[in-house]
Amino acid sequence: MKMATEINQSNDILEILSHILATISFLCGFVGIGMTFYLGRSKMKEIDQLVYGYKIPSDSIFFQLLRMPRYGGAFASRWGAKRAHLLHIRDQFDKKFQRPFIITHYLFIIGGISLVLLIILDKLFLDIT
């Protein structure tokens, strides 16, 4: 009897952990998409002007979501900027301008990692069939 209660308690803990991971991943995703929408309408046009030589007049959220990891990674680390061939834009903008891009970049990374952990936890430990 003691063994069955320990198994139920461990399953309860794993279910609580899965709910926490799901909440983290969805919150990071929604906040990240909202920040991408805001940055795409305000600050991303300045970076586009410097990188491409022109401002993209009508840009959808999908293309902003494609460019956000590139700009966020370039602002977050020198290696990311070198990899994305955006090393020249790091010095053009101050830290206050770069901070929302870096935060959004890390929000997407944290959300993605927690989603992968949630899938692993679900497949390995919470397989309810």
Domain ranges of the chain: 8-124
Give the pLDDT score at 36: 93
Phi first, then psi, for residue 31 (nearest 5°) are: -65, -40
Give the pLDDT score at 31: 95
pTM above 0.85, yes or no: no
Give the pLDDT score at 128: 57
* Gap between the Cα atoms of 53 and 6, Å rounded: 63
| pLDDT profile of the chain (129 residues), mean per 10 | 58 85 94 92 87 79 88 92 89 92 95 93 71
Give the pLDDT score at 126: 66
